[in-house]
Structure 1
Amino acid sequence: MTAATSKSLTLEEFLQLPETKPASEFLAGKIIQKPGSKGRHSCLQYEVCNVINQATKNQKIAYAFPELRCTFANRSIVPDIAVFRWQNIPFLSDGQVPDRFSFPPNWVIEILSPEQKPNQVIGNILYCIENGSELGWLIDPDDQSVLVFWRDARRAVASRHRAPSLRQENDVLAVLAEIKLELTADQLFSYIKMGN
């Protein structure tokens, strides 16, 4: 995340502002603009959406949306990838995907950019988990690791997440239970090795 504005706004006021490129998020009363996408980030975002959608779309299990604004619990965020179970997508009466999603994704995926503060990105993932997301990934292209976060419904509301797990190399990455996808960290990072 790069720029933050100092003027305090309400969520409703923020949502009336025109969209920015790159996207801006509303966090704790502040507007924070995400950094622009670069090569590795764009490649990972496209390929991860594609591999998830290949495993889920035809069977209507889930769908991975890139850069989808999700507004809930006094925040408005734009995860790099927001995965929603099919039954949780609020389709319009004609079957179209709506423009507005007013709840957290079932699975939130962020790809760390060098300009971003890791704890701020982790904070967004944890906020999603605390507000209903079941799974979160923080993909770090620099050290080729994925930090995986889970929701634990058995815990108290104040702490709904289990300890994160660092996945590297041949470690299989966790996905939503009904998704038939086995992907290792090495396989994920092979997507950015296009010149080989």
Structure 2
Amino acid sequence: MTPASVKPLTFEEFLKLPDIEESPAWEYINGNAMRHSILQKRLLAVIDSSTEGYTALPELRCTFGGRSVVPDVAVVAWNRIQLNEEGEPEDNFVEPPDWTIEIISPEHKANRVIDNILHSLRHGCQLGWLIDPDDRSILTFRPKQEPEVYRGSDRLQVLEGIKLELTAEQVFGWLKIAKS
């Protein structure tokens, strides 16, 4: 029996899929591990509490440069969020985030995730983090610079304007849960 050939979708066809907005939620429910969810939740809270100029958003679809990526955490300046006639945010974000954060989960392929970070940096993103809970390391990316690996008590790079001093040790410390 010959396998049926599958015609790859064009970018435009992908964007028109009826369940595209369910995709991040589906992946979140069926794929991501507990550590991923805890780190994502804590990052959202600590970043939002450290700035008034930016907001941290979970699983925001960002469509730009011929791709549609969904970082685990997208940090975006408030003044870059387009509003509709009612003063509410537009549903389609068509720019890269200012800061993209990815958390490696067991089902993720590191190179695919790094490729999305690099794509974002090439199109205007200022900072990328790749968090690896198994290695207890955070790989940071800046445009046109070599990546840097952070472990232990080294202070992590954050966006200018965000008053946040954070180390890899603190980030992974969030995973220690005391049972009562």
Alignment correspondent of 1:14? 14
Is 1:172 paired with 2:155?
A: yes
**Which position in structure 2 is the counterpart of 1:47?**
42
Q: CA deviation at 1:22?
A: 4.6
- Secondary structure of the corresponding residue to residue 49 of structure 2: helix
**Which residues of structure 2 form unaligned runs of 5+?**
1-5
Post-superposition Cα deviations, 1:25-65, rounded to whole Å, max 9, x if no partner, equal xxxxxxxx787222000000011011001112xx3x10011
1:16 shift after superposition? 1.1
TM-score (norm 2): 0.88
Which amino acid letter does the alignment assign opposite residue 47 of structure 1? R
133, 142, 146: which one aligns with 2:138: 146
Per-residue CA deviation, residues 117-160 of structure 1 (Å, 9 max, x unaligned), is 11111111011001110000000000111000002xxxxxxxxx
The alignment partner of 2:76 has SS state of: strand
Q: Which blocks of at least 5 consecutive residues in structure 1 are unaligned?
A: 1-5, 25-32, 152-160
Cα distance change, pair 22–191 in 1 and its aligned pair in 2 (3 A): farther
1:107-122 aligned within 5 A? 107-122=99-114
Asked whether the equivalents of residues 76 and 98 of structure 2 are also in contact (C-alpha less than 8 Å), the reply is yes
| AA in 2 matched with 1:186 | E
Paired residues, number: 171
Q: Is the 8 A contact 2:31 2:107 kept in 1?
A: no
**1:91 Cα deviation from its structure 2 partner:** 2.5
Counterpart-to-counterpart distance in 1, 2:164 and 2:81 = 20
Residue of structure 1 equivalent to 2:24: 23
CA distance in 1: counterparts of 2:7 and 2:74, whole angstroms:
28
Identity %: 47
Counterpart secondary structure, 1:137: strand
Q: Which residue of 1 aligns with 2:123?
A: 131
Contact 2:151 2:169 in 1 (8 A): yes
CA distance, structure 2, for counterparts of residue 178 and residue 98 of structure 1: 24
Which amino acid in 1 is paired with 2:44?
Answer: C
Structure number with bigger Rg: 2
Is contact 1:81–1:109 with CA below 8 Å preserved after alignment?
A: yes
Taking the aligned partners of 2:173 and 2:84, their CA distance within structure 1 comes to: 37
Contact 1:22–1:36 at 8 Å: present in 2 too?
no
Instruction: Tell me the equivalent position of 2:3.
Output: none
TM-score of the superposed pair, with normalisation by structure 1: 0.81
